[in-house]
A and B are shown apart, each in its own frame.
Chain A
């Protein structure tokens, strides 16, 4: 191995960069390099003129500032006569913290400065978050691998052409064989691949994730980008770009691609002279503008100067086979783009042959893991409810910070607690821990399973999150609520199975109990909710009713009652609880439960069934039954609801008397805060007050047109009214 002097420079505040520099020095020695480690305060700017190979590790401090030991060198670097660094090869590893606005700014500054002075970047800068160990180690390994393959200190471009080690030379000349030369191409230099997806239903996103995984077999280091929030200007530094985009409606971009498309279509779109691309378009031939979005991207990228490596493929709804073929061609072609951005066309077939076997395995579903998505940092304003039980004071704290859009709400809370306010209190746990439920912008969520950019819309270039404890529970501190009342309610419902003795089915494994698949599926769907506290909170009645069991307990009871395994005695006991005043009757409006999500719609329907069953058992007696019965009756009578009938029949004389003295009747008569209108609604109001005075409902309704049809429907469907 050739002796290659290598300077490893660190700018460090807390010691992390220094540690990485020292570790890199050890590895460099083992590769036969001659490294020397220096702090940025141990070198003068003019000394860099003599340096041919340099690795920089630099952290960022405060609001994008240089660490203390780098301040002087940075000032000198930006003095009147900065040195020329032609012939110098460099790579930068930046350390930072995404919870700060100016993430990794110092590393970015050094990266830009070296390039400006004429040095050659041998590997794209790596920006590390607080969990820096793995990406930094990967950076070190790749960088040293490149340095070790280089002879002397010549810039990498000239080295490949003039003074390259045998394997790289063969790459340049397009002569390599399977074996080390190809392995070298697939493992050295910049191997980054960027896959952007524009997706409406999730198909493009799914394919992007799948091909990112497969790309590793082609020696490519893939990153998946959601088009929503993607920084278009960053594309000019990307060598390999894949676009996977569906088409929506009448040739429209999917929602997450619209903003990026507008930017790309503008005159200020960046030049992509050094970028290779290919487009996979998803569409539906039954629409006029088939795959229009993919076609648009294909055309526009070419206009921006990018080079199409593989022709666009337009897929119909049955896209699997065509997309798979496109991915094999495209990944092989992209893999044949070397670290310098040169497309080695004659290597494509060799690459296909070389990785064909492993790629076929990767395309299967077995063992497939979705790579983590990368998202741009976005400005987030987080406002959190605070409650201090010692002083019994409430309030809100608000933080503004930059966070990656795909961080979970739980991740954001953890970051705030770690970096800003250690007293912030919330239930931490696994992503699916049901007790971690909170409310964000009115949504009831498990914070570990929801990303911040999916829980709030971006408004005025920033996300605004209002985080609250879930309603219907007493708050212990900040976002932590007391879940014990729900547990006690659940316990009092005796949720355990009391099974009936029933005959089983003879199977080869003996006699076992069975259940109809449809019944099992239905029962499962009723109880298949992610968090009982979350479901309990979804009812707007639970915070205002002391005795109401709530939808979570009721849904389980209803499922148990309809379970064919339950004993008759158990079913009877459950019926009694469901029919009780604290049971299903206490729910004032199922709409509040229904609107939460798909699961709660199923549960809301089940609770409606429970209420229908209860009313039927009561034969429409009591206020609940009378309300439903007389409402339906009045609609049958005229087609319209008659409020007067409801007040009279449901509340009765005592109820009406109570309304008279509580101001309800007076407000109705006067219309009160509601404005204007006739004093008398027809003649009846004059002769039979209070019917039809002011906002008092009329005594009688006129019938709707073709009222006989309404009566016929009632008689046909439900003859009880």
Chain B
């Protein structure tokens, strides 16, 4: 019996992180997850729209929840920022019936929809560990990911209620997944740190220091590659590597890929990309 979810790819999987969308689908198929696209879903707001108006972000996400509810499905996403933001808003709506009633009034007027609280949000990582099981993952591996790998969670999914049965402050799910697919998980402290994505455009000096601290610690602890559970952090940790190094003087060169890429490669998809990655791991670094 395949697991079936309404699929929200995250905020930038359609543009600057296309590799996430390209690898999520084959990885999910190999793991027996049926993805039903949430074609009308908007951006989760990334915690940015709510800076202008909390109610606006809540209403947009309530519309997304209502669509998933109409499909009688829970939502799955590979993006930690999306999972975290959707979870926060879902929790707010479910725990405040008066607010939900007001939001539903708006939804009915604007979209003809209602949300009754009958859906949940899951990150791919938690579905793998809590629902599919590491044994099944291990048995499906075709290309062992035999690299020293630092798993990066970011702060958004590491909150009470949003991280499955994992520990909020001292998580191990990514390490368990890395281990299950033949990798060598690296132990490091910065794995739940924010790299300041919401402040990237406005507080760039601080964000560059945050990113540099994360990247350099992963390198210092012996990682050859970082695997991120967040589309946004994944992009920033890669794109701003050079600039972060220039700003801080820290060593930051290290390949950064997304969880879905690692899974797809280990499960036998995109063998050419895995070959490219192995070459990059071999040549990048100090």
Give the B-binding residues of A (Cβ under 8 A): 441-443, 456-457, 466, 468, 540-541, 543-545, 548, 585-592, 594-595, 608, 611-612, 615, 620, 622-624, 626-629, 631-632, 635, 639-644, 646-647, 650-651, 659, 662-664, 667-668, 671-678, 681, 695-698, 701, 704-707, 709-710, 712-718, 720-721
Contact = CB atoms under 8 A, between A and B. Distances in A.
Contact of A668 (B16, B254, B256): B16
A705 B203 contact: no
21 contacts: A441-B167, A540-B155, A541-B196, A589-B198, A590-B198, A595-B158, A623-B201, A626-B201, A629-B52, A641-B11, A643-B16, A667-B239, A671-B19, A673-B255, A673-B284, A675-B19, A675-B277, A695-B19, A704-B41, A712-B110, A715-B110
Interface in B215-260: 234-235, 238-243, 246, 254-258
B40 interface: yes
Interface of B: 11-12, 14-19, 22, 39-43, 45-56, 59-60, 63, 84, 88, 106-107, 109-111, 113, 154-156, 158-160, 167-170, 189, 192-194, 196-203, 205-207, 209-210, 213, 234-235, 238-243, 246, 254-258, 261, 270, 272-274, 276-277, 280, 284
Nearest to B284: A673
Contacts of A585: 202-203
A627 B196 contact: no
A710 B206 contact: no
A672 B239 contact: yes
A720 B52 contact: yes
Contacts of B199: 541, 587-589
Given A591-B84, A718-B52, A677 B22 contact: yes
A628 B43 CA distance: 13
Most buried by A among B11, B49, B207: B49
B168 to A, nearest CB: 7
Contacts of B242: 662-664, 667
B40 A628 contact: no
Given A456-B170, A540-B193, A717-B53, A674 B19 contact: yes
Contacts of A721: 52
Nearest to B169: A442
Given A545-B203, A624-B202, A674-B257, A540 B238 contact: no
A681 B203 CA distance: 30
A640 B201 contact: no
A472 to B, nearest CB: 12
Given A588-B210, A628-B52, A695-B16, A713 B239 contact: no
Contacts of A591: 47, 84, 154-156, 159, 194
B16 A457 contact: no
Contacts of A717: 53, 55-56, 59, 106
Nearest to A717: B56
Contacts of A641: 11-12, 15, 43, 46
Given A640-B14, A672-B238, A540 B47 contact: no
B52 A612 contact: yes
B51 A608 contact: yes
A32 to B, nearest CB: 60
A705 B40 CA distance: 4
A641 B169 CA distance: 30
Contacts of B106: 713, 716-717
B175 to A, nearest CB: 11
B51 A615 contact: yes
Contact of A704 (B40, B46, B196): B40
B210 A544 contact: yes
Contacts of A675: 19, 257, 261, 270, 273-274, 276-277, 280
In the A-B complex, list the 3 residue pairs whose CB atoms are closest, starting with the nearest.
Answer: A588-B199, A588-B196, A663-B242
A44 B17 CA distance: 82
B243 A662 contact: yes
Contacts of A712: 109-111
A631 B48 contact: yes
Contacts of A704: 39-42
A611 B202 CA distance: 13
Contacts of A662: 242-243, 246
A648 to B, nearest CB: 11
Contact of A714 (B46, B56, B274): B56
B201 A639 contact: no
A307 to B, nearest CB: 38
Most buried by B among A585, A639, A721: A639
A632 B56 contact: yes
Contacts of B258: 674
Contact of A698 (B15, B60, B246): B15
Contact of A592 (B14, B63, B160, B194): B194
Given A588-B196, A640-B15, A674-B234, 20 more contacts: A457-B170, A541-B196, A591-B154, A595-B158, A595-B159, A608-B50, A612-B53, A628-B52, A639-B41, A641-B11, A641-B15, A662-B243, A662-B246, A664-B242, A671-B19, A674-B238, A705-B39, A706-B40, A716-B59, A721-B52
A718 B16 contact: no
A592 B193 contact: yes
Nearest to A707: B40
